[in-house]
């Protein structure tokens, strides 16, 4: 298998870099998002005011926000998404494509008009790339104290660097 599925299409500092104007310019009507460390830190039980405002801005522009999460905590994803007022798929099985396909089915929006934003290469990016969905890798909101999580992020470094190189090359070609 090629390493390309492990390289995100785009990089962003956070979800807030994904403005409705930018998304609409690229024909995006559906933003699929990981929950933990992408929309909110692991320990945050409810959406922040800035997340609520971003979600409302997306909706005002005809863009749907939809969580695709591997969360194993029984109430984490449903409670958070209900508080935010958005649909979700939990136990998505990323990097498998089943959760992504379910989100597309529920919304009726094709993969070409969707974007997946997440903080992990080996789940969010790999799964969405395999499903034919444009990917955006964001910086994790918090590194946390979990040594396994820190190791996973360290193992992703070559793919993050490849994405940066791809971005730099695209910028040079536009000049």
26-69 pLDDT, tens digit each? 999 999 999 999 999 988 899 999 999 999 999 999 999 999 99
Confidence bin at 169 (pLDDT 50/70/90): low
Q: Give pLDDT, residue 118.
A: 96
Q: Which residue has the higher pLDDT, 164 or 129?
A: 129
HSE-up of residue 38 (Cα within 13 Å, Cβ side) = 30
Mean predicted confidence (pLDDT) in 129-147: 85
Which residue ranges form the domains of the chain, and what is each CATH number? 4-174 (3.40.50.1000)
For residue range 9-38, what is the model confidence (pLDDT) as tens digits? 988 999 999 999 999 999 999 999 999 999
Answer yes or no: is pLDDT of 146 > 80. no
Mean predicted confidence (pLDDT) in 144-164: 74
Q: Give pLDDT, residue 156.
A: 81
Q: Give pLDDT, residue 171.
A: 56
| % of the chain residues with pLDDT over 70 | 89
Q: What is the pTM of this model?
A: 0.89
Separation of CA 102 from chain center? 15
Q: Give pLDDT, residue 158.
A: 79
Answer yes or no: is pLDDT of 2 > 60. no
Q: How far is CA 112 from CA 28, 30, 41, 147, in A?
A: 8, 10, 29, 36
Sheet containing strand 10-12, edge to edge, reads 10-12, 134-138, 114-118, 30-33, 64-68, 88-89
Answer yes or no: is pLDDT of 3 > 60. no
Q: Give pLDDT, residue 159.
A: 79
Confidence bin at 1 (pLDDT 50/70/90): very low
């Amino acid at each position: 298998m090629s390493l390309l599925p492990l390289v995100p299409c785009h990089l962003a500092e956070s979800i807030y870099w994904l403005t409705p104007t930018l998304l609409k310019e690229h024909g995006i009507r559906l933003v699929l998002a990981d929950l933990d460390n992408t929309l909110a830190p692991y320990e945050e039980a409810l959406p922040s005011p800035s997340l609520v405002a971003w979600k409302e801005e997306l909706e005002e522009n005809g863009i749907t926000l939809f969580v695709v999460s591997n969360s194993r905590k029984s109430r984490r994803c449903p409670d958070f998404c209900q508080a935010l007022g958005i649909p979700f798929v939990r136990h998505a099985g990323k990097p498998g494509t089943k959760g992504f396909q379910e989100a597309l089915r529920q919304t009726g929006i094709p993969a070409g008009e969707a974007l997946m934003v997440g903080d992990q290469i080996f789940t969010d990016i790999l799964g969405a790339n395999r499903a034919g969905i444009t990917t955006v890798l964001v910086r994790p909101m918090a590194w946390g104290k979990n040594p396994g999580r820190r190791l996973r992020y360290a193992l992703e470094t070559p793919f993050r660097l490849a994405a940066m190189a791809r971005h730099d090359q695209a910028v040079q070609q536009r000049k």
